[in-house]
Chain A
Amino acid sequence: DGGITQSPKYLFRKEGQNVTLSCEQNLNHDAMYWYRQDPGQGLRLIYYSQIVNDFQKGDIAEGYSVSREKKESFPLTVTSAQKNPTAFYLCASLPAGLAGTSTDTQYFGPGTRLTVL
């Protein structure tokens, strides 16, 4: 079955530790996205990548880092510089990348709930 997987579903870390969230897709999509969800604030874009080995900052990139070494993988690292990392993190992908316009839809993974103790 094609889809997006995020692991783990629940993650606990001590304050000051870096943590990496996994996002893998087997949809052969070019573009991938990371969003953060907080209650009452909807989803906000952290980083996105339209092609392998390239990525751009979203609206709230501070304290986060990403890599895109493979088309199917887009891991997100939450660093100790992120002031309030406890949140629900969602990964998404889209068929079109640098091709530009796309009427396609972003497909979302099941999410990872990160709690910093």
Chain B
Amino acid sequence: AQSVTQLGSHVSVSEGALVLLRCNYSSSVPPYLFWYVQYPNQGLQLLLKYTTGATLVKGINGFEAEFKKSETSFHLTKPSAHMSDAAEYFCAVSRPAAGNKLTFGGGTRVLVKP
């Protein structure tokens, strides 16, 4: 079985400050890793994903994440927060050989202060 833990259900950052959202996973086999963003009452939009290769992954809207196998982590960062970054963020893992099902973390809601 696989699981995902996101540390902190709510994060508050000032506009222009670093955004850091933490994600740790457990999986018996190397998973694929994803970060999604959700705005109120909308579906999920992919920010970035890691499947194989380079462990530092760049995504949309200035976000990036680094896969660290030894730490079983996939933390999401953005150097400078913008007001439009206020949303809920979900980390997810999938096992390609298991129907590509996604297992999600509980989500982190980001508040950006002016």
Seen from chain A, the residues whose Cβ lies within 8 Å of a Cβ on chain B are 4, 9, 31, 33, 35, 40-45, 48, 50, 56, 58, 88, 90, 92, 94, 96, 100-103, 105-106, 108-111, 113
Contact = CB atoms under 8 A, between A and B. Distances in A.
A102 B90 contact: no
- Sort chain B's interface into a size bin: 20 to 34
Interface in B60-114: 90, 92, 96-97, 99-107
B17 interface: no
A29 to B, nearest CB: 11
A101 B96 contact: yes
B25 interface: no
Given A43-B102, A45-B101, 12 more contacts: A4-B43, A42-B107, A43-B104, A45-B102, A50-B99, A101-B100, A103-B49, A103-B52, A106-B100, A108-B36, A108-B45, A111-B42
